[in-house]
Structure formats: structure tokens, C-alpha cells
């Protein structure tokens, strides 16, 4: 049985989010601290970001495990590509989001 990507817990954690390129342009935000439940996977975090910034992420985010994601997710300087539903954000993590497409 697959566990929920964003589990309900009373304890919250804060992560630092940096958005670049069109993500920053669409959201009009470059840096923000986001509070999420303690047991939140990277996939759950991206679902949270999609709900929080629907105009930005609904056009950019797709299923990364199918290599269709237009967003590259870095956690503490490490590119997260596989098993994002089995990797968890932790208190104080530095999450950097880049659109895989850039303009010129």
C-alpha cells in the first residue's frame, strides 16, 4: 500500500525555497520560507507548492519519475531526480527549484 505523499502530522517544519527563471517570474517570488508537516516527501512538497502557487506550478510541474518534469528540484545542493516520494524534506532544508526550460 502506497503511503500518502503529504502525511498529516501536528508538527510542522520550515524549509527555505528559492525559485529561479520562469518560476520566479510567474510567482513573483524568488525566496520564501514554507511551513509543511514534518513527514512530507519531496513529491508531497511539490504538490504543496502546486496548491500554493497554482498558476506557476500547474504549467510547469509534471511527473518527474516519468522524466516529464519541467522543474528540477535541488535539496541542499543535491539534484533530486528519482524516488521523490521516498525522500523527505527536513527542518531547515534549502530547496531550489529551476525550470528545465529557459528563454533567450
pLDDT digit string, tens, across residues 8-63: 557 999 999 999 988 898 889 999 999 999 989 998 898 888 888 888 887 666 55
> How are the residues of the chain apportioned to helix, strand and coil, as percentages rounded to the nearest 5?
25, 30, 45
Question: In this structure, is the dihedral angle defined by the CA atoms of residues 100, 62, 65 and 2, taken in order, positive or negative?
Answer: positive
The predicted pLDDT at position 66 comes to 52
> Grid coordinates standing for 76?
541542499
Strand (E) or helix (H) holding 12: strand 12-19
Q: Supply the DSSP symbol for 5.
A: S
The predicted pLDDT at position 61 comes to 60
Residue 29 φ/ψ region, left for φ over 0, alpha for ψ in the -120 to 50 degree band, beta for the rest: beta
What lies within 8 Å, CB to CB, of 3 at 6+ separation is none
At residue 103, does pLDDT exceed 60?
no
The predicted pLDDT at position 67 comes to 47
Amino acid at each position: 500500500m502506497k503511503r500518502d505523499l503529504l502525511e498529516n502530522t501536528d508538527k510542522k517544519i520550515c524549509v527555505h525555497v528559492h525559485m529561479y527563471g520562469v518560476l520566479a517570474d510567474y510567482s513573483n517570488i524568488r525566496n520564501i520560507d514554507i511551513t509543511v508537516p514534518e513527514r512530507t516527501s519531496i513529491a508531497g512538497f511539490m504538490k504543496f507548492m502546486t496548491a500554493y502557487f497554482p498558476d506557476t506550478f500547474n504549467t510547469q510541474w509534471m511527473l518527474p519519475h516519468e522524466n516529464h518534469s519541467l522543474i528540477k528540484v535541488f535539496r541542499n545542493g543535491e539534484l533530486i531526480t528519482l524516488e521523490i516520494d521516498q525522500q523527505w524534506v527536513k527542518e531547515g532544508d534549502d530547496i531550489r527549484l529551476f525550470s528545465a526550460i529557459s528563454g533567450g
